[in-house]
Amino acid sequence: MSDQPKQRQRGRAPDHQGTKQELPSGKFRYVGRVNGKRVTGSARKTLRDAKADFNAKVQAALAPAEPENPEVPCVEDYVHTVLYGAYKRRLRDQTLAPSTWQLYDQALRLNIMGTWFGARLLDTVTPGDVERWAGALMTHERWSKDRKRLINKSMPMANSSKARLIGMIGGFFEHARVKDKLILVNPVNDADKPEFEEVAFRILTATECEELLLLCEKEDMDATDNEKERERRHRSNRRRRLIVLLGLHGIGPSEMCGLRYEDFDGQGILPKRQRQRLRNLKVLERERLKTKQRKAWVAVDEELQSLLAEFDNGYVLENDRGGAMETGNLRRAFTGMVKGTKFEGLKPYDLRHTFGMRLIEAGVDVRTSAEMMRHTPEVFLRRYVRSDKERKIDAIRKLNKDRKERKSECFRR
């Protein structure tokens, strides 16, 4: 036997580390086996990239396979997950009012937890199940504050309350379609739904705008000698005039309710986007502008300037308690003003669409028009600019007039 030491044989590399291959194209790739299956990496220009690509495919092959039929939660567990997951995050992000979350929590806890509908598997729920569950809903007994008597004895729930609960369930089921959904398909989402009908906004002409302003003087000042009554009628007429003038300047109902005299600088106003109820709950801050990129400054005409210059603080449209007017009360005041006239059915938001069309018809450039509407030019053109039969006929008349002028110039030459 030889006295020379034996050379240690190098151990064979595991298959999942791969074997390097140099291709005729000059690129490299790694080939190996994982759990008895061949794994081939993609061809790369450098060894480093080829190794990284091969390792990624090995890790994917070593990862445990997901079950083909994941466990589907029941309605009760799913609602609980969404209520204390996605909706709780919205509550922390201040995009959901605390009172709304409490309403969801109470209504769903009382009407779903422990019921046959709550025990139903989510992927087996059908629209018929939702209707049958809503049809059997009953009111819940509760004690009075002094805990001496039982009020609201169990009885069939009102249809309005049932519709509200069905809307809540629909909102929760819609979470099944988000990216981190718990299930792939929910039959309730695929149920036949009525087609969405786009609201047709009415565009007023310049003459109709002046006629609408005349309706603002609805309260007759000469019909009473009582000083307090005259003051009330004056405030009522002034409020209606402000609603119409602000609407004809493109201010929406929620912006009107949040508008303060401090937002007026003498030539224009800076409307804020807010919802009155959420602002009272301190969920939405008033200083949030409708557009984040720029200040939404809107120039106003002389008539509105004179009305806004009468006071220097407080809400422009205030209620009897001195607070901001609710949007619902604003719509009711406007509806009562136009009732029984040619403008019956007109909504305050129609005035905003009228303002957008009048800007375009007056020849204002699209960028400035969009700025005054607090929108980007793309959104402004898509939502607020439209045409009808009369405008199309008027466009042909303008073209024919221009054509005749050009024709006469040719003959004169």
Structural domain total, the chain:
3
Is the residue at 3 inside a domain?
A: no
Q: In this predicted structure, what is the pLDDT of residue 163? A: 76
Is the pLDDT at 245 greater than 90? The verdict is: yes
Q: In this predicted structure, what is the pLDDT of residue 248? A: 92
Mean of all residue pLDDT scores within the chain = 76
- Residues 162-171: what's their mean pLDDT? 77
What pLDDT digit, counting tens, does each position of 101-120 carry? 887 888 777 788 888 888 88
Is the residue at 5 inside a domain?
A: no
Model confidence at 189, pLDDT cuts 50, 70, 90, reads: very low
Over the Cα atoms of the chain, what is R_g?
34
Is the residue at 186 inside a domain?
A: no
Q: Say if residues 191 and 127 touch (Cβ distance below 8 Å).
A: yes
Is the pLDDT at 153 greater than 70? The verdict is: no
Q: Say if residues 239 and 333 touch (Cβ distance below 8 Å).
A: yes
Is the pLDDT at 281 greater than 80? The verdict is: no
Is the pLDDT at 406 greater than 60? The verdict is: yes
Is the residue at 199 inside a domain?
A: no
Is the same domain home to 58 and 130? no
- The residue with tokens 């009369």 is 390
Is the same domain home to 249 and 335? yes
Among 34, 62, 90, the domain boundary falls at 62
- Residues 226-252: what's their mean pLDDT? 88
What pLDDT digit, counting tens, does each position of 333-357 carry? 898 899 888 898 899 989 999 999 9
Is the same domain home to 56 and 117? no
Is the pLDDT at 190 greater than 50? The verdict is: no
Is the same domain home to 234 and 162? no
Q: In this predicted structure, what is the pLDDT of residue 128? A: 76
- Residues 246-257: what's their mean pLDDT? 88
Is the same domain home to 154 and 211? no
Is the residue at 266 inside a domain?
A: yes
Is the residue at 45 inside a domain?
A: yes
Is the pLDDT at 201 greater than 50? The verdict is: yes
Is the residue at 313 inside a domain?
A: yes
- Residues 375-395: what's their mean pLDDT? 82
Is the pLDDT at 369 greater than 70? The verdict is: yes
Q: In this predicted structure, what is the pLDDT of residue 212? A: 92
What pLDDT digit, counting tens, does each position of 9-52 carry? 444 445 567 788 888 888 888 888 877 778 888 888 888 888 88
The pTM for the full model equals 0.51
Determine the structural domain holding residue 169 and report its residue range.
75-177
Is the pLDDT at 205 greater than 80? The verdict is: yes
Is the same domain home to 20 and 160? no
- Residues 252-279: what's their mean pLDDT? 76
Q: In this predicted structure, what is the pLDDT of residue 247? A: 92
Q: Which residues of 1-25 are buried (b: 16+ CB within 10 A; e: fewer)?
A: eeeeeeeeeeeeeebbebeeeeeee
Is the same domain home to 327 and 292? yes
Is the same domain home to 132 and 267? no
Is the same domain home to 40 and 89? no
Is the same domain home to 119 and 38? no
Structure token pair of residue 201: 């906004």
Distance CA 247, CA 112 (A): 44
Is the residue at 397 inside a domain?
A: no
Q: In this predicted structure, what is the pLDDT of residue 156? A: 76
Is the same domain home to 341 and 276? yes
Is the pLDDT at 235 greater than 90? The verdict is: no
Is the pLDDT at 67 greater than 70? The verdict is: no
Q: Say if residues 5 and 31 touch (Cβ distance below 8 Å).
A: no
CA 375 to chain centroid: 15
Is the same domain home to 42 and 85? no
Number of C-beta neighbours around residue 308 at 10 A:
22
